Amino acid sequence: MLNGKTIVLGITGGIAAYKAATLCSKLSQAGANVHVIMTKSATQFISELTLQTLSRNLVYTDTFDERDPEVVSHIHIADSADLVLIAPATANVLAKMAYGLADDMLSTTVLATMAPIMVAPAMNVHMYAHPAVQHNMELLRQRGVLFIEPGEGPLACGYTGKGRLEEPEQIVEQVQAFFNQSTTKKVGAALLETLAPVHDSAAELPLAGRTVLVTAGGTLERIDPVRYITNDSSGKMGFAVAEAARNMGAHVVVVAGQTQVDPPVGVELVRVESTQQMLEAVMARYEAVDVVVKAAAVADYRPVTQAAQKLKKTGERLVIEFERNPDILETLGRNKTHQLLIGFAAETEKLEEHARGKLQRKNCDLIVGNDVSRADAGFGSDNNEVHIYNKHGLLERIPLMSKGGVATRILQLAVAQMQAKAAQQKPVEQSARHDEVHAVE
């Protein structure tokens, strides 16, 4: 499936470097032409000869080791890549990439390439959670770098937690999925190009001075004091949007129901339980916000009555009657004044039809459609693949990538939409002012 693809595999110096041998072998077996670049530290963990044998190509470790006088190696290799994959990626290489350092063969190649870049971090759990590392990853996400999140489990350092390099088989699957969606490197490069202008044309922090309200997680409806119904939402997508909005300079308010992951730091967190509570929390803040992203999975129905005491077992069957909950997004749409409203549409079929129907019904500016029947995206997953629609139709299809990457792109489109709206309003405002002057005269 990777026939004809040139993959530059960057290996950096962590214990997980030994898994890079399996990864290299599997990529080659899948048909890819793999060119390995190792950092000096990586060579402490695994030999160049191993990678040379598995890739059947020369391995690069030194920027100045120019073997072909016809070309400059790091530029040549950067140009030839359909994908640059860095696995494992240490905290050090992430920092270098984030700040554009170029002091070895891998970092110079990464700066020189126009190909998409995919990174699979691996490190100690505390290093991974460190704000500096998280911040660097977010910067890279904003530039369109794709992340393969590390897994959780026992780590070589003795700790247990998040930081294990994703298994080589899974990484190959993600690489294949990437190429299935963006069939040539031009598509990848085009994606990066589309990411760049929105970010560059705005101020360094495009949401500075704006307030973004995000709903996250699933709402929960109580049946009795110890029982309830809810849904599978993990909160990852909503929290990713909140984090991305914070990094883009916004003041962020997160109204969260049930979640399975920690909320980002640096945001105002309002916890709610039921749909009614979420509605009230959101409406109380609506007037003061510029953008609303409704990523929560909201319970559409609630039990007609909530028993004050724990229900006792009685008959063979139990029938609980449910009644409709308010639709929060629809309410926001009806009361919209200046806000930009972004909804989500979780669908298992007819994605475009249903998503566009919801956009119209709920008076949204953008709707993010995702296919929740897929195992590798949607509920609970670290990744998502979405289609973003505006009132004219499909605005952008975002290939499978980390929820952080998807979140950043959604907000970039929101910024672009706000800029377009402001540009449209300007002449009207100017002509209104002009009329006022005439009226005074």
Interface positions with ligand CTP (CB under 6 A): 275, 294, 296, 298, 300, 325, 327-329, 343-346, 358
**CB distance 325 to 302 below 8 Å:** yes
Distances (CA, A) of 231 to 217, 274, 358: 9, 12, 20
Q: Are strands 291-294 and 268-271 parallel, antiparallel or unpaired?
A: unpaired
As measured in angstroms, the least distance from the Cβ of 271 to ligand CTP is: 17
As measured in angstroms, the least distance from the Cβ of 246 to ligand CTP is: 20
Look up tokens 């530029």; give the residue. 75
Residue nearest ligand CTP by beta-carbon distance: 328
Distances (CA, A) of 319 to 224, 252, 305, 314, 315: 14, 41, 12, 11, 10
**CB distance 307 to 293 below 8 Å:** no
Nearest CB to ligand CTP, comparing residues 290 and 330: 330
**CB distance 391 to 408 below 8 Å:** no
As measured in angstroms, the least distance from the Cβ of 213 to ligand CTP is: 12
Strands (E), 181-308: 211-216, 221-224, 227-229, 251-256, 268-271, 291-294, 301-303
Look up tokens 């509570």; give the residue. 277
As measured in angstroms, the least distance from the Cβ of 358 to ligand CTP is: 5
Annotation marks residue 24 as catalytic: no
Nearest CB to ligand CTP, comparing residues 343 and 399: 343
Indicate the SS3 state at residue 401.
strand
Q: In what order do the strands lie in the sheet with 146-147?
A: 33-38, 6-11, 83-89, 117-121, 146-147
Nearest CB to ligand CTP, comparing residues 198 and 298: 298
Show the tokens assigned to 320: 């609980």
CA 6, CA 286: separation in Å to the nearest integer?
Answer: 49
**Which entry of 157, 187, 229, 416 is annotated as an active-site residue?**
157
**CB distance 124 to 157 below 8 Å:** yes
As measured in angstroms, the least distance from the Cβ of 216 to ligand CTP is: 10
Percentage helix, strand, coil, to 5, in the chain?
40, 25, 35
CA 381, CA 369: separation in Å to the nearest integer?
Answer: 15
Nearest CB to ligand CTP, comparing residues 211 and 219: 219
* Best CA proximity match to 275, nearest among 291, 289, 294, 260: 294
| First vs last C-alpha separation in the chain | 74
Look up tokens 């749409």; give the residue. 333
Catalytic residues, which ones?
157
